[in-house]
């Protein structure tokens, strides 16, 4: 039923997907193309975009536009080129993003600047220039955040800050256009099998490389994309995925202090975690007590 409804709903709609060259963005763009939406692919990697455009053109009209969302002029160009080609915008999916993994005390502040530029300002720039067209079509603007946009994650200060900022920005935008027919959705996947952890920035700004988590146990990007499009069709205000994420938010409201401890120990279990493990802390306490 969802498949048939989605095919009817998205057919011929003009949809922009940022961060379309990999992960959730790639899966979302692919699914939109199969639903015969007119798809605009935005990312920094020209080679990947051209290859993706070629593959998806068998389903629908697709254009690719090289876009660094941290650059305002690139975002304006993305919107201008979309309207020049299709004359309208129905859906903007702000998916482009980067992550990080380091304790704040060790962090070069340029890392947080980079995260805010890509994650937060990328969403602001694209939304700003697309907004007049989305208001004309009573379209949808989506911000892909994460559980970290509701509850700060240890070792992810910049990431959490940027996702909290997107959450607040889009929540306010929704209120401002409450009577204009604009659909604003804040979408929070949990841990997803994607490229974002491999490109996560370390304390010095270098990329992490190998992911510290077992990708095979996570929700796939394809499933995350499928659920996202279901919620866009339903014009949902918010969607939070995975049982763990939903449980974390409930526990945070009910038992905030206990949840802080649980969260710390959960994240400390990662290989090469920047936090001390419980066993290390207990050993230090025993040494200091003698």
Residues catalogued as catalytic: 159
Instruction: Describe the crossing of helices 243-254 and 256-268 by its angle, rounded to 10 degrees.
Output: 140
Q: What is the largest CA-CA distance in the chain?
A: 74
Q: In whole angstroms, what is the distance from residue 45 CA to residue 65 CA?
A: 10
Reference 274, options 105, 48, 110; nearest CA is: 105
Task: Record the tokens describing residue 201, joined without a space.
Answer: 């920035």
Reference 94, options 45, 130, 51; nearest CA is: 130
Cα angle 157-24-217, degrees, rounded to a multiple of 5: 80
Alpha helices (H) in 14-138, listed in sequence order:
23-34, 46-56, 72-86, 109-115, 122-137
Burial 127-144 (b: 16+ CB within 10 A, else e): bebbbebbeeeebbbbbb
Q: Supply the DSSP symbol for 205.
A: S
* Run of H or E residues at 74: helix 72-86
Q: In whole angstroms, what is the distance from residue 141 CA to residue 44 CA?
A: 21
State residue 187 phi and psi, 5-degree precision. -115, 120
Q: Residue 96 burial (CB < 10 Å; 0-12/13-18/19+)?
A: buried
């Amino acid at each position: 039923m969802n498949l048939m409804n989605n095919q009817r709903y998205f057919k011929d709609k003009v949809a922009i997907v940022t961060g379309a060259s990999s992960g959730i963005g790639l899966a979302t763009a692919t699914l939109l193309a199969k639903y015969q939406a007119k798809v605009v692919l935005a990312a920094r990697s020209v080679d990947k975009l051209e290859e993706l455009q070629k593959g998806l053109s068998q389903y629908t009209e697709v254009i690719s536009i090289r876009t660094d969302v941290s650059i305002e002029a690139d975002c304006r160009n993305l919107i201008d080129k979309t309207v020049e080609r299709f004359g309208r915008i129905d859906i903007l999916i702000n998916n482009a993003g980067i992550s990080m993994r380091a304790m704040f005390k060790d962090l070069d502040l340029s890392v947080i600047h980079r995260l805010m530029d890509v994650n937060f300002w990328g969403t602001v720039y694209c939304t700003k220039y697309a907004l007049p067209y989305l208001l004309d079509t009573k379209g949808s603007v989506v911000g892909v955040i994460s559980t970290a946009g509701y509850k700060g994650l240890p070792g992810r200060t910049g990431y959490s800050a940027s996702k909290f900022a997107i959450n607040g920005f889009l929540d306010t935008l929704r209120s401002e256009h409450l009577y204009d027919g604009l659909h604003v959705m804040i979408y929070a996947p949990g841990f997803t099998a994607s490229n974002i952890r491999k490109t996560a920035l370390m304390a010095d700004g270098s990329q992490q490389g190998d992911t510290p988590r077992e990708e095979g146990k996570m929700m796939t990007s394809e499933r995350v994309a499928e659920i996202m499009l279901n919620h866009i069709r339903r014009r949902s205000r918010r969607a939070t995925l995975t049982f763990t994420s939903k449980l974390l938010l409930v526990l945070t409201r009910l038992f905030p202090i206990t949840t802080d401890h649980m969260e710390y120990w959960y994240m400390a279990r990662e290989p090469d975690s920047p936090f001390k493990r419980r066993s290390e802390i207990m050993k230090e306490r025993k040494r200091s007590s003698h």
